Amino acid sequence: MVVILLGPPGVGKGTQGRLLVGALGWERLVTGELLREARRQGTELGKKAQAYMDAGDLVPDDVIVALVKEWLAGIPGEIGVVFDGFPRTAPQADALSRSLPEVGRSVDGVVVLEAPDDVLVKRIAGRRSCARCGRAYNVHYDPPQREETCDACGVLLDQRKDDTPATVRHRLDVYREMTEPLIAYYESGLAPVLRVDGNRPQEVVREAVWQTLVEELEVG
Protein backbone atom coordinates (compact mmCIF):
# COMPACT_ATOMS: atom_id res chain seq x y z
CA MET A 1 0.00 0.00 0.00
CA VAL A 2 1.16 3.56 -0.72
CA VAL A 3 -0.13 6.59 1.21
CA ILE A 4 0.95 10.17 0.54
CA LEU A 5 0.91 12.73 3.37
CA LEU A 6 0.32 16.14 1.83
CA GLY A 7 0.11 19.51 3.54
CA PRO A 8 1.90 22.80 4.20
CA PRO A 9 5.10 23.10 6.25
CA GLY A 10 4.47 22.60 9.95
CA VAL A 11 1.06 20.96 9.59
CA GLY A 12 2.33 17.75 11.21
CA LYS A 13 3.28 15.47 8.30
CA GLY A 14 6.43 14.34 10.11
CA THR A 15 4.68 13.94 13.46
CA GLN A 16 1.77 11.93 12.05
CA GLY A 17 3.95 10.01 9.57
CA ARG A 18 6.16 8.75 12.42
CA LEU A 19 3.11 7.63 14.43
CA LEU A 20 1.56 5.93 11.41
CA VAL A 21 4.57 3.84 10.39
CA GLY A 22 5.17 3.04 14.07
CA ALA A 23 1.66 1.59 14.32
CA LEU A 24 1.68 -0.23 10.97
CA GLY A 25 5.30 -1.36 10.61
CA TRP A 26 5.53 0.43 7.25
CA GLU A 27 8.44 2.42 5.80
CA ARG A 28 8.40 6.19 5.50
CA LEU A 29 10.17 8.32 2.93
CA VAL A 30 10.87 11.88 4.10
CA THR A 31 12.61 13.70 1.26
CA GLY A 32 13.46 16.67 3.52
CA GLU A 33 15.16 14.33 6.02
CA LEU A 34 17.13 12.53 3.27
CA LEU A 35 18.34 15.90 2.02
CA ARG A 36 19.28 17.10 5.54
CA GLU A 37 21.25 13.87 6.11
CA ALA A 38 23.06 14.38 2.79
CA ARG A 39 23.99 17.89 3.96
CA ARG A 40 25.26 16.61 7.30
CA GLN A 41 27.46 14.11 5.45
CA GLY A 42 28.65 16.77 2.98
CA THR A 43 27.77 14.66 -0.11
CA GLU A 44 27.39 16.16 -3.62
CA LEU A 45 23.61 15.86 -3.22
CA GLY A 46 23.77 17.72 0.10
CA LYS A 47 25.87 20.53 -1.39
CA LYS A 48 23.50 20.84 -4.34
CA ALA A 49 20.42 21.01 -2.06
CA GLN A 50 21.80 23.42 0.58
CA ALA A 51 21.06 26.83 -0.99
CA TYR A 52 17.57 25.82 -2.11
CA MET A 53 16.65 24.49 1.32
CA ASP A 54 18.00 27.44 3.29
CA ALA A 55 16.02 29.83 1.08
CA GLY A 56 12.86 27.75 1.48
CA ASP A 57 12.80 26.88 -2.24
CA LEU A 58 12.28 23.45 -3.73
CA VAL A 59 15.24 21.31 -4.73
CA PRO A 60 15.16 20.56 -8.52
CA ASP A 61 12.80 17.78 -9.56
CA ASP A 62 15.43 15.58 -11.26
CA VAL A 63 17.48 15.38 -8.04
CA ILE A 64 14.42 14.44 -5.98
CA VAL A 65 13.00 11.93 -8.43
CA ALA A 66 16.32 10.04 -8.65
CA LEU A 67 16.51 9.97 -4.84
CA VAL A 68 12.98 8.60 -4.49
CA LYS A 69 13.40 5.92 -7.17
CA GLU A 70 16.55 4.63 -5.50
CA TRP A 71 14.81 4.55 -2.10
CA LEU A 72 11.70 2.81 -3.44
CA ALA A 73 13.71 0.10 -5.18
CA GLY A 74 15.10 -0.93 -1.78
CA ILE A 75 11.70 -1.50 -0.11
CA PRO A 76 10.23 -5.03 -0.36
CA GLY A 77 6.88 -5.02 -2.21
CA GLU A 78 4.87 -6.39 0.71
CA ILE A 79 5.79 -3.46 2.98
CA GLY A 80 3.50 -0.42 2.95
CA VAL A 81 4.99 3.00 2.27
CA VAL A 82 4.20 6.52 3.50
CA PHE A 83 5.53 9.45 1.45
CA ASP A 84 6.09 12.56 3.57
CA GLY A 85 7.09 15.68 1.60
CA PHE A 86 6.93 13.98 -1.79
CA PRO A 87 5.58 14.61 -4.38
CA ARG A 88 5.68 18.40 -4.19
CA THR A 89 5.35 19.42 -7.85
CA ALA A 90 3.41 18.21 -10.91
CA PRO A 91 6.56 16.70 -12.53
CA GLN A 92 7.30 14.80 -9.28
CA ALA A 93 3.72 13.49 -9.13
CA ASP A 94 3.91 12.42 -12.80
CA ALA A 95 7.23 10.69 -12.17
CA LEU A 96 5.71 8.86 -9.21
CA SER A 97 2.68 7.77 -11.26
CA ARG A 98 5.08 6.31 -13.85
CA SER A 99 7.50 4.70 -11.36
CA LEU A 100 5.10 2.95 -9.00
CA PRO A 101 3.75 0.40 -11.53
CA GLU A 102 7.38 -0.59 -12.27
CA VAL A 103 7.57 -1.89 -8.68
CA GLY A 104 4.01 -3.28 -8.67
CA ARG A 105 2.47 -0.42 -6.67
CA SER A 106 0.06 2.49 -7.09
CA VAL A 107 -1.07 5.38 -4.87
CA ASP A 108 -3.84 4.06 -2.58
CA GLY A 109 -4.68 7.33 -0.82
CA VAL A 110 -3.60 10.92 -0.22
CA VAL A 111 -4.07 12.28 3.30
CA VAL A 112 -4.23 16.08 3.25
CA LEU A 113 -3.52 17.74 6.62
CA GLU A 114 -4.78 21.31 6.98
CA ALA A 115 -4.23 24.19 9.46
CA PRO A 116 -4.27 28.02 9.31
CA ASP A 117 -1.02 29.80 8.37
CA ASP A 118 -0.58 31.59 11.72
CA VAL A 119 -0.70 28.21 13.51
CA LEU A 120 1.87 26.78 11.09
CA VAL A 121 4.28 29.69 11.56
CA LYS A 122 4.03 29.44 15.37
CA ARG A 123 4.60 25.67 15.34
CA ILE A 124 7.62 25.86 13.07
CA ALA A 125 9.18 28.80 14.89
CA GLY A 126 8.92 26.71 18.09
CA ARG A 127 10.50 23.55 16.66
CA ARG A 128 13.88 22.52 18.12
CA SER A 129 15.94 19.32 18.16
CA CYS A 130 19.00 17.91 19.88
CA ALA A 131 21.93 17.38 17.50
CA ARG A 132 23.34 14.71 19.83
CA CYS A 133 20.37 12.38 20.53
CA GLY A 134 17.93 13.60 17.85
CA ARG A 135 15.08 14.24 20.30
CA ALA A 136 12.53 16.74 19.00
CA TYR A 137 11.03 19.53 21.15
CA ASN A 138 8.65 22.40 20.60
CA VAL A 139 9.08 25.44 22.85
CA HIS A 140 5.30 26.06 22.73
CA TYR A 141 3.85 22.55 22.90
CA ASP A 142 6.59 20.24 24.22
CA PRO A 143 9.30 22.40 25.84
CA PRO A 144 12.51 21.12 27.45
CA GLN A 145 12.77 21.47 31.26
CA ARG A 146 15.61 24.02 30.94
CA GLU A 147 15.25 26.68 28.25
CA GLU A 148 16.76 25.66 24.86
CA THR A 149 18.57 22.69 26.43
CA CYS A 150 18.14 18.96 25.79
CA ASP A 151 16.74 17.18 28.87
CA ALA A 152 18.80 14.06 28.17
CA CYS A 153 22.12 15.45 26.85
CA GLY A 154 22.31 18.93 28.45
CA VAL A 155 23.46 20.46 25.12
CA LEU A 156 21.93 23.53 23.45
CA LEU A 157 19.07 22.70 21.09
CA ASP A 158 19.27 23.35 17.34
CA GLN A 159 16.79 25.18 15.13
CA ARG A 160 16.54 24.37 11.41
CA LYS A 161 17.97 27.15 9.21
CA ASP A 162 14.73 27.25 7.20
CA ASP A 163 12.55 27.60 10.31
CA THR A 164 12.74 31.41 10.67
CA PRO A 165 9.35 33.16 10.34
CA ALA A 166 10.36 34.89 7.05
CA THR A 167 11.52 31.63 5.43
CA VAL A 168 8.43 29.81 6.68
CA ARG A 169 6.22 32.44 4.99
CA HIS A 170 8.14 31.85 1.75
CA ARG A 171 7.80 28.05 2.14
CA LEU A 172 4.04 28.54 2.54
CA ASP A 173 3.92 30.56 -0.70
CA VAL A 174 5.89 27.84 -2.48
CA TYR A 175 3.49 25.23 -1.09
CA ARG A 176 0.42 27.13 -2.35
CA GLU A 177 1.91 27.62 -5.80
CA MET A 178 3.67 24.30 -6.46
CA THR A 179 2.24 21.62 -4.15
CA GLU A 180 -1.38 22.47 -3.29
CA PRO A 181 -2.47 21.92 -6.95
CA LEU A 182 -1.56 18.24 -6.48
CA ILE A 183 -4.75 17.86 -4.41
CA ALA A 184 -6.80 18.48 -7.59
CA TYR A 185 -4.40 16.25 -9.56
CA TYR A 186 -5.17 13.27 -7.33
CA GLU A 187 -8.85 14.23 -7.03
CA SER A 188 -9.15 13.95 -10.81
CA GLY A 189 -9.64 10.20 -10.34
CA LEU A 190 -6.07 9.07 -9.56
CA ALA A 191 -6.53 8.28 -5.84
CA PRO A 192 -8.89 8.99 -2.93
CA VAL A 193 -8.07 12.30 -1.25
CA LEU A 194 -8.78 12.27 2.49
CA ARG A 195 -8.80 15.64 4.28
CA VAL A 196 -7.99 15.81 7.99
CA ASP A 197 -8.11 18.92 10.21
CA GLY A 198 -4.54 19.18 11.56
CA ASN A 199 -5.35 22.13 13.84
CA ARG A 200 -6.08 19.96 16.88
CA PRO A 201 -3.91 18.29 19.53
CA GLN A 202 -1.51 15.69 18.10
CA GLU A 203 -3.36 12.75 19.66
CA VAL A 204 -6.72 13.90 18.20
CA VAL A 205 -5.15 14.30 14.74
CA ARG A 206 -3.52 10.86 15.05
CA GLU A 207 -6.90 9.28 15.86
CA ALA A 208 -8.57 11.12 12.94
CA VAL A 209 -5.87 10.03 10.46
CA TRP A 210 -6.13 6.45 11.68
CA GLN A 211 -9.96 6.42 11.49
CA THR A 212 -9.87 7.85 7.97
CA LEU A 213 -7.41 5.23 6.75
CA VAL A 214 -9.36 2.39 8.37
CA GLU A 215 -12.70 3.58 6.97
CA GLU A 216 -11.60 4.66 3.49
CA LEU A 217 -8.68 2.34 2.72
CA GLU A 218 -9.29 -0.57 5.13
CA VAL A 219 -5.80 -0.14 6.57
CA GLY A 220 -4.82 -2.04 9.73
- Interface residues with ligand AP5 (CB under 6 A)? 7, 9-15, 31-32, 35, 52-53, 56-59, 64, 85-86, 88, 92, 123-124, 126-127, 138, 141, 162, 171, 201-202, 205
Annotated active-site residue in 36, 39, 88, 206: 88
Backbone angles phi, psi at 11, to 5 degrees: -75, -15
Largest CA distance in the chain: 51
Report the nearest approach of ligand AP5 to the CB of residue 34 (Å): 8
- Residue type at 191 in one-letter notation: A
Annotated active-site residue in 160, 169, 195, 200: 160
What's the rounded Cα separation, in Å, for the pair 76 and 78? 6
DSSP alpha helix (H) spans, 74-180 = 90-102, 117-125, 165-174
By C-alpha distance, which of 210, 209, 207, 208 is closest to 220? 210
Annotated active-site residue in 123, 127, 128, 206: 127
Question: Residue 96 or 189: which CB sits closer to ligand AP5?
Answer: 96
Residues 6+ away with beta carbon under 8 Å from 45: 35, 38, 63, 67
47 in active site = no
Report the nearest approach of ligand AP5 to the CB of residue 17 (Å): 7
Question: Residue 105 or 122: which CB sits closer to ligand AP5?
Answer: 122
Cα Rg, the chain, nearest whole Å = 17
Question: Residue 64 or 193: which CB sits closer to ligand AP5?
Answer: 64
171 in active site = yes
Report the nearest approach of ligand AP5 to the CB of residue 218 (Å): 25
Question: Residue 193 or 205: which CB sits closer to ligand AP5?
Answer: 205
What's the rounded Cα separation, in Å, for the pair 208 and 178? 26
135 in active site = no
Report the nearest approach of ligand AP5 to the CB of residue 89 (Å): 7
Residue nearest to ligand AP5 (CB): 32
Render 26-83 in DSSP notation, one character per residue. Answer: -EEEEHHHHHHHHHHHT-HHHHHHHHHHHHTPPPPHHHHHHHHHHHHHTS-TTS-EEE
Report the nearest approach of ligand AP5 to the CB of residue 215 (Å): 21
Residues marked as catalytic: 13, 88, 127, 160, 171
